[in-house]
Every structure is written in structure tokens, then in C-alpha cells.
Amino acid sequence: MTVLLPDEHQPAAKLSRDGARSSSDSITFSDESDSANTSSLSPLYGRGAAPSASPGVVALYRLLVGVFGAFWLANAWFQLSAWVLRAGPAHPAPLLGVLDGAARHAPAWLRPGSLWVVHVAEAIGPQIMAIAMVMIALALGLAMIFRRGLDVAGWGGLAYSLFCWVTLGALGFPYTKGQTDPGVFPAYAIAFLFVLAVAPVVAPAGSAQARPRSWAWRAGALGFALLWVFDAVLKWSPYFLGHFVDQLTSAIPGQPGWVATYIGWTIAVVRAVGPTPVAVTVAVAETALAFSLLSGVLVSLAIPLGFLYSLAVWTTAEGFGGPYGPGGTGIRGDVLGNVVIYALIFLFLAVGRRRTAGR
């Protein structure tokens, strides 16, 4: 199956014999066999087949954008509780502690910039900066839920996610003790590229002639494929392969009883099978997903399997994104966990490959 991405430079649609616009050409993506179209090297480089999506596809885009907005509203709440409401004599500036921690974890070449951000926060007031960041998360969430100002939200969210990746996430450093992903903010940035891609067709005032932005879709798909390449490479590190159970046990502290029990069952199964074979299987699976997303080989199979795999990781190694408590999830922006954003992006890709019912 080869995805044909929307391309604003392609003709609006084919004309039928009587000059009317063909309904079958109102589709954003074409569904063909994976080997049928050799002119499209992968889902990332396919040519646009039509300028707009079908109504059913647009409705699903709207739902996904709204879900992403709900993530940001939850993020705003957790950051408000962790950075502002929790502030007191014992913790006068929680955000400053997060920024200090990021500066300590940053590599030497990044540390001066991280320390500069700390000094800026001290100069303007860490609580003022915390409130400003909560307001940004709130604005992004509301914009996506109500689909107002999506272009501004898309560009602003992309820039803000990259800013947070540097200041709060230290580019994911340090990559120790089996850590294999660069943090949640690259996934946020990629998701905002998909928001930018579909914004013209999901906005309330969108024109019937509007079409998704192919460049944003391609950039998001390419970024997502490279993110999986990054994860897959680190999965082959000796520490991850030799300490796989540690990745699961580290998700238990602070969790409610039912989550801890569920993860405990997962650990028991892993130990029964063998931690090393399971770790190798995980590394192989992520390598296969990365290759498929980057090359387009069997991508129609990789997308649903990648979605299910992401949910499996989210419910086990990430403990459903918890624990949810004061100063817990959300303090560095990773509300609800990291891999759940991967699952959302897989849904964008899956919806983008849908065919209209009449074709």
C-alpha cells in the first residue's frame, strides 16, 4: 500500500466526461498495493492525488486534533499544580528546579544555553515564567479543541515544543540506564506538523476547495520515521538488552495498586520467557517499524501494529503515564506519558490512508 500525499501543486481534480468533478477524486490519499507504485519511494515522498479529504476523513482529523488539544489541557493542569499551586516555603520555585536539573543533565556544549535559560527565569521570576508556560499550554489546547487559530497553534506549538525540548528536556540527555527515546517533546513537535498539515481542512471556516498541506504531512511522517530509527538504534545498546526488566520495575513506584499489579504480571511473563529474548524481540520490532516507516515497505501493516505496540509500551514501561500526583506527570511536559503521543501520530497516519466509501 502506498500513500499518495496531498500536493497543493497538483491539479484540483480530474474531470469526468461531462465536465463534472469526479467524486472519486475527492480523496486525499490513494490505497494501492505496497509494490504497485514505484514512483513513490515511501509514504513520505508520495505525490498528491487530490487537493482535499473526504468528509469522513476530515471528521476523523478533527477528532484527532481535538484529542491532541485535550492532552495539552491536561498538560496545563498538571503544570499548574506542579509549578504554581505546589509552590511554597519548601518549594518556592518548582520550575526553577526543573530547569536546573535540565542544565545538569545537558551535555557540555548545551549547558551554557541551559544555564542562560535558568538565569532568564531568575531575572523575570520563575513563578511568572511558570504561569506563562501554563497559559501557553492552555491556549494551545483550547485552539485545537475549538479549531480556532490552528495555523498559529500549529506553528507556535512546534516552536514551543522544540523550546521545551531544549530547556526542560535537555534534548533527552542523559541517555543512560537504558533510555532509548529523546523525550516527549520531539513527538509533540511532530504531532504539531500533522496539525499544520490538516489545519486547512478541519478549520471551521475552511473552504470546500481547501486541501491538506503536503509539505507538513511529509515533514511529520519523515520526522516520525527518524524518531523510530533513533529509538531502534538505542534499543540495541547492551544496557537495554541486559536490563530489560529494570525498564518495567522502574514504572511501578507511586502507581495505584491495579497498575502495579498489571505491570507485575507483565514482569512475571517476561521472566518466564526470558528477559534477553524479550528485549531482543522488542529491538527487532522497533527496527522493523523504523525501516517500514522510512522505506514504505509493508507500511500498511506497520501502522496498525505500531499503534498497538505503542499502547503496549505505554501501559507497561510507562505505567499509563503515571504516577499521577503532585509534582508527578506533567512537570516536564510529559503528561500521560511519551509513547501515547506515538500512538496518536499512528492514528493520523492511519486516517490519512483511508479511502472514501464510494471508491
Tens of pLDDT, residue by residue over 171-230, are 888 887 777 888 889 999 999 999 999 999 998 876 666 788 888 998 999 999 999 999
Q: What is the pLDDT averaged over residues 119-132?
A: 93
The answer to whether the peptide bond before residue 174 is cis (omega within 30 degrees of 0) is: yes
Residue 138 resides in a domain? yes
- pLDDT at 343 > cutoff 80: yes
- pLDDT at 41 > cutoff 60: no
Q: What is the pLDDT averaged over residues 45-73?
A: 76
Residue 10 resides in a domain? no
Tens of pLDDT, residue by residue over 79-94, are 888 888 877 777 778 8
Residue 72 resides in a domain? yes
Contact 8, 213 (CB under 8 A): yes
Confidence of residue 289 (pLDDT cuts 50, 70, 90): very high
Most confident of 37-41, 208-212, 307-311, 333-337: 307-311
pLDDT number for residue 348: 93
Instruction: Determine the Cα–Cα distance for residues 293 and 67; give it in Å rounded to an integer.
Output: 23
- pLDDT at 24 > cutoff 80: no
- pLDDT at 128 > cutoff 80: yes
Tens of pLDDT, residue by residue over 108-124, are 999 999 999 999 999 99
Q: What is the pLDDT averaged over residues 325-347?
A: 71
Say what the pTM is.
0.84
- Among 54-58, 232-236, 313-317, 352-356, the minimum mean pLDDT is found in 352-356
Tens of pLDDT, residue by residue over 257-278, are 898 999 999 999 999 999 999 9
Residue 3 resides in a domain? no
Instruction: Determine the Cα–Cα distance for residues 80 and 137; give it in Å rounded to an integer.
Output: 10
- The structural domain count of the chain equals 1
Task: Answer with the residue of higher pLDDT: 151 or 6.
Answer: 151
- pLDDT at 334 > cutoff 60: no
Residue 357 resides in a domain? no
pLDDT number for residue 15: 37
Confidence of residue 335 (pLDDT cuts 50, 70, 90): low
Q: What is the pLDDT averaged over residues 145-163?
A: 95
Residue 316 resides in a domain? yes
Residue 102 resides in a domain? yes
pLDDT number for residue 10: 40
Task: Show the 3-state SS of the chain.
Answer: CCCCCCCCCCCCCCECCCCCECHHHCCCCCCCCCCCCCCCCCCCCCCCCCCCCCHHHHHHHHHHHHHHHHHHHHHHHHHHHHHHHCCCCCCCCHHHHHHHHHHHHCCCCCHHHHHHHHHHHHHHCHHHHHHHHHHHHHHHHHHHHHCCCHHHHHHHHHHHHHHHHHHCCHHHCCCCCCCCCCCHHHHHHHHHHHHHHHHHHHCCCCCCCCCCCHHHHHHHHHHHHHHHHHHHHHHCCHHHHHCHHHHHHCCCCCCCHHHHHHHHHHHHHHHHHCHHHHHHHHHHHHHHHHHHHHHCCCHHHHHHHHHHHHHHHHHCCCHHHCCCCCCCCCCCCCCCCCHHHHHHHHHHHHHHCCCCCCC
Domain that holds residue 272: 23-352
pLDDT number for residue 2: 41
Percent of the chain with pLDDT over 90: 48
Contact 83, 59 (CB under 8 A): no
Confidence of residue 53 (pLDDT cuts 50, 70, 90): low
CA 323 to chain CA mean position, Å: 20
**Average pLDDT over all residues of the chain:** 81
pLDDT number for residue 87: 73
The residues, ordered by sequence, that sit 6+ positions from 348 with a Cβ below 8 Å of its Cβ are 61, 64, 191, 194, 198, 220
